[in-house]
Amino acid sequence: MPACYDYLNFGTPSDNMPLMILRGARVNVAKSKSSMASATTKEDNVVVRYFKETRAELRKVTWPTREEAKNLTLIIVTVTVVMAIFLGALDYVFQVVTAGIIGGDFIRITIAVVLLIGGVAAFYFNNQQE
């Protein structure tokens, strides 16, 4: 037997014992025919395994019916449009009030004070009901 072979199990190799062959930085494993059949199963790539697990999880999901999806979409679109209109109006009011304060317009300053008092009163009464 050549000198580069080394039995790591310190015994004589048999058909049931793997033989480790060391050559430089590589390690080759020689196995018996019976263990080769079980070693031929190839493990999946990390990306392939990720997609398989994702697909398995998506099969567990309870998906909404078409009618439920339609109703939920309608609710979301309605709330989004209403909030966009509300925030746009609020932005316009703040723009007008701020321009009035900067320009020294008495009417716009009065509107700003009334809105400030109304906001403070709404905050106060809202906290009183709790």
* Digit-coded pLDDT (tens) for 65-104: 999 999 999 999 999 999 999 999 989 988 888 888 888 8
User: How many DSSP H helices and E strands does the chain contain?
Assistant: 4, 2
Higher-confidence residue of 105 and 123: namely 123
User: Whole-angstrom Cα distance, residue 52 to residue 24?
Assistant: 38
End-to-end CA distance of the chain: 90
Q: Is residue 123 part of a domain?
A: yes
Residue 24 counted as domain residue: no
pLDDT band at 43 (very low <50, low <70, confident <90, very high): confident
**Is 111 part of a structural domain of the chain?**
yes
**Domain extent for 114:** 66-128
Q: CA nearest 47: which of 39, 55, 37, 58?
A: 55
Q: What is the pLDDT of residue 107?
A: 84
Residue 18 lies in a domain: no
Which is higher by pLDDT, 17 or 130? 130
> Is residue 2 a part of any domain in this protein?
no
pTM tops 0.85, yes or no: no
The number of domains in the chain is 1
Residue 12 located in a structural domain: no
